[in-house]
Amino acid sequence: MNITETRQILDKVSAIDNRKITPESLDAWHDIIGRVPFDIATAALKLAQQDPSVKYLEPRHIMGWVKEAAFRLDREKPEQPEVKRGTPQPRCRDHNELILNCDPCCHRLMKWEEAHGSKGIHDFALAEIYA
């Protein structure tokens, strides 16, 4: 988090308790919480502000909630769609090479495609080329 973001955190703190923000206090806060990513620090601030045991918010209170805030943010992220994996590259029947590494079989596929078009090339490869 940069110093401007730390200032935003401190502004939120001062909005509640009316503390005076000085350049020195900003630097002190940044020295303590500056290594925390802004989104996590913001979430940790909210958790610390909601903690009934915290009477006067200090940087250590935010740091105490960082792990929980990161966990909650991670849990709230939308699930990533499952990546569908295709069939591994087939091997050619005649040379037992991966199909894209076998020049003679690639040449046969190219010649068939030139003669018949691309429709049906996969069926041809399944019947005549793939192992």
48, 62 Cβ separation under 8 angstroms: yes
| Average pLDDT of the residues in 115-130 | 89
**Same domain flag for 70 and 126:** no
DSSP annotation string for 66-83: HHHHHHHHHHHSPPPPPP
* Percent of the residues in the chain that have a pLDDT greater than 70, as a whole number: 94
**Same domain flag for 95 and 69:** no
How many distinct structural domains can be found in the chain? 2
**Same domain flag for 29 and 56:** yes
Q: Give the pLDDT band of residue 26 (cuts 50, 70, 90).
A: very high
**Same domain flag for 11 and 72:** yes
83, part of any domain: no
CB under 8 Å, gap of 24 or more: what pairs does 42-49 form? 42/9, 42/12, 43/69, 43/70, 43/72, 43/73, 44/68, 44/69, 45/9, 45/12, 45/13, 49/16
Chain-centroid distance of CA 44 in Å reads: 20
84, part of any domain: no
**Same domain flag for 60 and 96:** no
98, part of any domain: yes
Domain residue limits at 125: 89-131
What pLDDT was estimated at residue 42? 97
This prediction's pTM: 0.58
The 10s digit of each residue's pLDDT in 47-97 is: 999 999 999 999 999 999 999 999 998 877 777 677 667 668 888 999 999
**Same domain flag for 71 and 126:** no
81, part of any domain: no
**Same domain flag for 7 and 60:** yes
| Distance separating alpha carbons of residues 122 and 107, to the nearest angstrom | 14
**Same domain flag for 70 and 7:** yes
Average pLDDT, the chain: 91
What pLDDT was estimated at residue 120? 87
